[in-house]
Amino acid sequence: MPPSVSSPRRVARILRTSLFAQVACALVLGIVVGKLWPDVATDLQPLGDGFTRLIKTIISPLVFCVVVVGIAKAGDLKAFGRIGLKALIWFEIASTVALIIGLIAANVVQPGSGMHVDPSTLDTSAVDAKTGGGSLPSTTEFIVNALPTSFIGAFAENSLLQVLILACLVGAALLHLGHTKVPQVLPAVEQAQEIIFAVVGFVMRLAPIAVFGAMAVLIGQYGLGVIQTYAKLIILCYAAAALFIALLAVALRIVTGLSLWKFLRYIREEMLLALGTASTESVMPRVMQKLRKAGARDDAVGLVLPTGYSFNLDGASLYLSIGTLFIAQAVGVDLSLSQQITVILVLMLTSKGMAGIPGSAFLALSATASSLGAIPAGAVALLLGVDRIMDSMRVVTNLLGNCVAVFAVSRWEGALDIERAKKVLNGETVPAPEGAVLDAADETAKTTVPAQSTKEPASEVS
């Protein structure tokens, strides 16, 4: 067949079978539509929002099933407790490092210097609209709110920490009673898990449509001019994120011997989807699958990854520390070393209560400004125009930080199959892990199981 005929067919086949190619095309098309027809683009918001809502309905039951099965199969509740403790230690170290990198970068580059902004001229009502008049919970409120008041309510409110606690209790109860007293419960949870992963496969078919809508809205609302206005701040944030990711790569290599760049290629579809929708939640189910395929034990994946969504916001920590100093420099406030240390301490606390709260970044910045007493709280309005542009940086950094945490804590606890992980990240075909629920066409993971023993759900095109 002549090349002129085969090439279009090859491209059509790639677009038909590769989720990565579909999402990439949707991303470019969204940018074009947002640039050329901004009025039309703003009406496409429901496309991205609808997809995110569908994914969120899956996350809580998926986390519950994975954690319950992980605890029951591991057979050691103490080991599960150690995993949780080690995860929290890792999260705190990583978040603190991100905060420090952000402060150092902002002090060196001075992104807000020379702006000479008068805070009284800023429209602070826009910040109130962004945050919905809410506030970040205190440390005590955060801990109390993590405790469920209703079994069903935890799932209805999609509260991951509450679902995690319920899952730990159910898993512990299964271990205590033993499989002889409740022989049908664990198989039922495993079957529910298979159903949920099948639903994930169905929903993921809509990913390109969601990315197209979300990107068109972004460009249509903010345009490309904001990039020129805040170029120095944007470049600094992305450069600081790149430095932090490089440190993550070094840490992953030292702790596990694995390559972060190979892992990034392994989850390239999920990463592109997260970038397009500006949400790490949209890829959480798929990332959980791929981490399990890459040799991380179920209990480690089920506990570390969801907990990281509340405790390990590395990208947000970078942005908050740089943003605080940017605001101070823009309004002409010179923060002393002691005040900058206060910034780190305040952000270490406020960043833990950010997940799931509308406009949480602005609430955290306002709380930090108020604690210092030197920066007008209304000055956070300076970041309104650039906040959405920073989503890509936060999403990538948060997602990679959480995935590295899963590998590191798993290795620390002896819950990681290193040989399997290396083969999967190298693109080799390896047998599926016992009990794994696979996507039928997961070309990135390149894992296979014998046809006669396969229980694969209908999956997304990938």
- Going by C-alpha positions, the residue among 354, 368, 358, 359 that lies closest to residue 326 is 368
Supply angle C-alpha 408, 410, 412, rounded to 5.
Answer: 70
Residue pLDDT, tens place only, 87-102: 889 988 998 899 899 9
Nearest Cα residue to 317 out of 360, 259, 274: 360
pLDDT (tens digit per residue) in 246-260: 999 999 999 999 999
Query: How far, in Å, CA of 34 to CA of 16, rounded?
Result: 24
| For residue 268, pLDDT beyond 80 | yes
* Cα–Cα distance for residue pair 29/27, rounded to 1 Å: 6
CA 104 vs. chain centroid, Å, equals 24
pLDDT digits (tens, 9 = 90+) for 26-84: 888 888 888 788 777 778 878 877 887 888 888 888 888 888 887 777 666 777 788 88
Q: What is the pLDDT of residues 357-389, one digit of tens each?
A: 555 666 677 777 766 666 776 677 777 767 777
Measured between alpha carbons, how far is residue 23 from residues 137, 275, 399, 461 in Å? 36, 10, 18, 11
pLDDT category, 310, cuts 50, 70, 90? Answer: confident
